[in-house]
Structure 1
Amino acid sequence: MAQMIHGFIILFALSPLAIALTMNPTFAEQPGKGEGEGEGLTLELIHRYSVHSPLYSPNLTTAEKIKQLVKISDRRSFEIGLSLANRSRVMGVRPVVASEKWVYMVKLGIGTPPTFTNLDFDTGTSFSWTQCAPCGQHFVQTPPLYWATRSSTYHALPCDHPLCAGLPCIRNQCRYVLTYMDAAKTKGYLVADRFTFASNLGNRSEAVDDVVFGCSKESSPDMYPHGTAVSGIIGMGTHARSFLMQLGGRAKGRFSYCLVPLEHIGHSYLRFGIDIEHIRHAQTTPLLSYHNHSHYLLEVKDLSVNGRLLHLPSDTFKINPDGTGGCLVDTGSWINFMVENALDALIRSLEEHFQRHNLRKAEDPNPTKLRLCYKIPRGFSSYPAIRFHLRGAVLRPKPKNFFYVDEEEGRICLAIKEAQHTIIGAFLQQNHRMVFDVRKHQLTFAEENCARD
């Protein structure tokens, strides 16, 4: 069993990028690295507004946090939509995060001796990168820059390396260029070096050798216009370049997390391989693949409210040929999104529920533009039970987790917005153990008190 590790990471909203790459097959695992080690690995996930985050501010109100998280979620949803719609195999690296739009992050050291930095945690991409020194133009970051050539464990990736397949090669170095939706760019070359994660057991640490990632030598300064606590991204997608797949036998294609509620001071953890504990009363549903995308897609059969199925058409949540539709589970979006016909049917059922409790509709006064809001009396607790009926499983989030509750104003708003696809965001995943197994193509989950993780 690996030691418990403390760290930072976040996902949450990368713009789709246009890169001339040939993607490795979906669910392709890098052979050999860590194979047979079976040690597992545990890292700490830090929410951007956690007391453990460098962005923590005790003066920031809950309403202000929610406004920013909804803004991040809107951007994330839009970029995921573009990513799914553009399914060309030459659009290889598709991070879905930019402009200080992360939700969770991980802290790690890169190289020997380690340069400690923070990276976005993104399950929607398989490409990891960090800014490297010396560099040309770049965005301002609070962690120190990583100097590859000052690390005794660094080496450049030769063009015949399997993870260089499809990338341009200049002077026997594997190059990349990532172009984002907002025209921001980052470019550099692939390198391999040691990743070190601090342990909570004394002064010990845990290392993963020869991790392949992008060493960015030039980045758009306006990618993070006000500076940032992160220096890049760590990708947890399904392709061979992702950190997950590079762990090989150490992860066995499996990772899990259990997200504590935003207001809780406890830690959320990201676990790999045998560090994933057995969970009781677990349910399992298939993970779907769509062309060359790294997103974790689910098959949703129907929704229900208070035990009554909505009887939505069977194709409601299917991915359409143009890339619209589908349902994915994502930590880079805080709130949730849903296709129009499903959201309309859900709102009609919720209106009936709240009418029975004599609640009066209200407008969302914030720029978040949430569709369904009500004034509530102090101590209101009659929230409807909303369920996602998946293939072979039923996801039962806490009823209150579907709503943004403003106690001071006495108002609740449904935390689901309309989109061309459905996203089960981090808010709904709170207090659920989520276990992703890309070898078996399945998601296993169960309700859990994540503060006890």
Structure 2
Amino acid sequence: MASPHLFLCILLVVFGSYLATISAAGDGKQSFVVVSTSSFQTQDVCSTSTSTSTMKPRPNRAGAAVPLVHRHGPCAKSPSTDKPSSFAEALHRSRVRADYIMSRALRGRGTTTTMEMHEQEEGKVSIPAHLGTSEDSQEYVVTLGLGTPAVEQVLLLDTGSDLSWVQCAPCNSTDCYPQKDPLFDPRKSSTYAPIPCGSDVCKSLKSNHLDNGCSMNDNGTQSQCGYRVEYGGGLKTRGVYSTEALTLAPGEVVKDFHFGCAYKQRGADDKSDGLLGLGGAPQSLPVQTSALYGGSFSYCLPPVSSGTGFLALGAPSNTSGFSFTPMTDFMDDGTSYLVKLTGISVGGKQLRIPRKVFEGGLIVDCGNIISHLPSTPYAKLRSAFRAAMAAYPLIPSDDDDTCYNFTGYSDVTVPKVALTFTGGVTVDLDVPNGVLLDGCLAFTESGSDGYVGFLGNVQMRTLEMLYDARGGGLGFRTGAC
């Protein structure tokens, strides 16, 4: 029979091992990241290792890849003159965009939103009734070639829009907003052609409320297809729906690409030369090029302080590095992409949240800045994050935001945040770029439990997001840019 002393020693060893396991899995140091506060600042110089001219092609990919940058980042071709969004500005823009996307989808079903009903009762101005989203919240741009010979165009990236457009000459300062690059001049391109008004391509605009009737060309010999898009942030664009050669990369040219040649604008500035639509409707770039690239595409959004990411058309031949969750259309609107969130963890600890509160799903929206969660998940996340960051002073906020004053700190310890999606796919967000924006927790509340939320571009940063059209899934690959 074993002695009592030997039994006690065995018990202590086992108990000590259990405590060590709990420490590693629960509040272990691996679940926190020490980051320098200097990493929150945008670099002044684009390093050669991250510049657009030295972007390495994505491995195992048969399609085309182009550089992608933040419009305030060090590698932007023509950095925007406006200042990067403060958290308060980003939050406002994200809410405007989210409200508009919801309004667009519900109007497609002939439904009035709760917000609109409230505004009508209060006598406020309702959200515009046409398709589009808030352009002010879009942060990332790509540079493509349009026309023959190709003319560079800097375009905002948007998964919440379908129709691509650029400002076209001739257009005076009262009709078009000022931009750094010369206006695209279709008269100087040998491959430009307006789309006839009676064509099936033109008629397809009507089903998405993008048509603007017909107009005669300059010599009055042909009826041209007019388009119109009105955005929630106040931007309106209209012009001639046209075809043109689109150069993605050397040797990668899309012939007869359908886009809007804009002659009348309102509400924008020099953020870009136009917009590139990546939604799911027929007018978008992925759908138009599905015969070439299969309808799939991916992108990696770099942090503001970093250099270059990428936009790629076509899926990799080997997707073993990705984790996939099912993806569907949002309310059959044909544009937005929807996934289902099932859980959240902070600092390695899974939050206790009933799965039913996630039933509304998340719209995956690279044009939105901040992620929106239903009330219970947001409250649980905010509480856990604040507890983990208790060492740092909170900035008082009327909106109960979670913003910190890091003045005087050379580095800070930030908890990892992970999102779990349908199928058990868990994605660790980049720290700090995928968690913090302007020193604030980059999440907000979308509405009641079960309400639709949004996955914003902050949470996507450094991830390759693969929209697999054939497989109906969204793939995540960490550390891609």
TM-score, normalized by length of structure 1? 0.75
**1:271–1:151 CA distance, 2 compared to 1 (3 A):** same
1:356-412 per-residue CA deviation (whole Å, 9 max, x = no partner) reads: xxx2542158x9973353669846554223221210111211343454387xxxxx5
Q: CA deviation at 1:264?
A: 2.3
Instruction: Report how far residue 185 of structure 1 moved.
Output: 2.4
Equivalences for residues 152-301 of structure 1 within 5 A: 152-158=190-196, 159-162=198-201, 164-165=203-204, 166=206, 167=211, 168-170=213-215, 172-181=223-232, 183-199=234-250, 205-220=251-266, 223-224=267-268, 227-265=269-307, 267-273=308-314, 276=316, 278-290=318-330, 291-301=332-342
Is 1:110 paired with 2:152? no
* Fraction of identical pairs, as percent: 24
Aligned partner letter, 1:288 = T
* Number of residue pairs matched by the alignment: 384
CA distance in 1, matches of 2:459, 2:142: 21
> Which secondary structure does the structure 1 equivalent of 2:357 belong to?
coil
SS in 2 for 1:373: coil
Once the two structures are TM-superposed, the CA of residue 112 in structure 1 deviates from its matched residue by 1.5
CA-CA distance at 1:186 after TM superposition: 1.8
- SS class of match (1:83): helix
Q: CA deviation at 1:230?
A: 1.6
**How many angstroms apart in 2 are the aligned matches of 1:449 and 1:42?**
13
Q: Which runs of 5+ in 2 are unaligned?
A: 1-50, 54-60, 110-127, 217-222
Distance 1:444 1:85, change over 3 A: same
1:298 Cα deviation after fit: 1.1
- Cα distance, 1:418–1:132 mapped onto 2, change above 3 Å: same
Shift of 1:299: 0.5
Q: Structure 1 stretches (4+) deviating beyond 6 angstroms?
A: 90-93
Q: Normalised by the size of structure 2, how large is the TM-score? A: 0.71
The residue matched to 2:84 in structure 1 has which SS?
Answer: helix
After TM superposition, list the pairs within 5 Å mapping 1:47-196 onto structure 2. Answer: 47-56=70-79, 65=84, 67=86, 71-72=89-90, 74-87=92-105, 88-89=107-108, 94-98=131-135, 101-135=137-171, 137-158=175-196, 159-162=198-201, 164-165=203-204, 166=206, 167=211, 168-170=213-215, 172-181=223-232, 183-196=234-247
Residue 41 in structure 1 maps to residue 82 in structure 2 = no
**CA 1:249–1:198 in structure 2 vs 1: closer, same or farther (change >3 Å)?**
closer
Q: Which amino acid aligns with 2:187?
A: T
Listed as ranges, the matches of 1:317-336 within 5 Å are 317-319=358-360, 326-336=361-371
Q: CA deviation at 1:254?
A: 0.8
**3-state SS of 1:134 partner:** coil
1:355-366 alignment, distance < 5 Å: 355=390, 359-363=391-395
Q: Tell me how far 1:114 sits from its aligned partner.
A: 2.4
In structure 1, C-alpha distance between the alignment counterparts of 2:234 and 2:382, rounded to whole Å: 37
Larger deviation: 158-167 or 239-248? 158-167
Deviations 1:291-328 (A, max 9, x none): 21422221011222234332323332333xxxxxx412
SS at match of 1:216: strand
Structure 1 counterpart SS, 2:101:
helix
**What letter matches 1:176 in structure 2?**
Y
The SS at the match of 2:356 is coil
Measured after TM superposition, the shift of residue 247 of structure 1 is: 0.9
Amino acid of the structure 2 residue aligned with 1:285: T
- Name the residue aligned to 1:29: none
Taking structure 1 as reference, are residues 278 and 370 closer, same or farther at Cα in structure 2, changes over 3 Å only? farther
Indicate the SS of the match to 1:133.
coil
User: How much does 1:132 deviate?
Assistant: 1.5
**Structure 1 match to 2:382:** 347
Farther off after superposition, 428-437 or 160-169? 160-169
Query: Counterparts of 1:427-446 in structure 2 under 5 Å?
Result: 427-446=458-477
1:181-212 alpha-carbon deviations (Å, 9 max, x no partner): 3554221121101012454xxxxx53211000
Q: Deviations over 1:262-291 (max 9, x none)?
A: 3223x21111115x3635442110112122
> Residue in 2 aligned with 1:390?
421
Do the aligned residues in 2 keep the contact of 1:73 with 1:333 (CA within 8 Å)? no
Deviation at 1:228, TM superposition (A): 0.5
* 1:443/1:449 CA distance change after superposition, 3 Å: closer
Q: CA deviation at 1:344?
A: 0.9
What is the distance in 2 between the residues matched to 1:354 and 1:331?
27
Give the structure with the larger helix fraction: 2
Instruction: State the structure with more CA Rg.
Output: 2
- Contact kept, 8 Å, 2:372 with 2:454, in 1: the verdict is yes
Deviation at 1:418, TM superposition (A): 2.6
The aligned residue for residue 16 of structure 1 is: none
Determine the structure 2 residue equivalent to 1:25: none
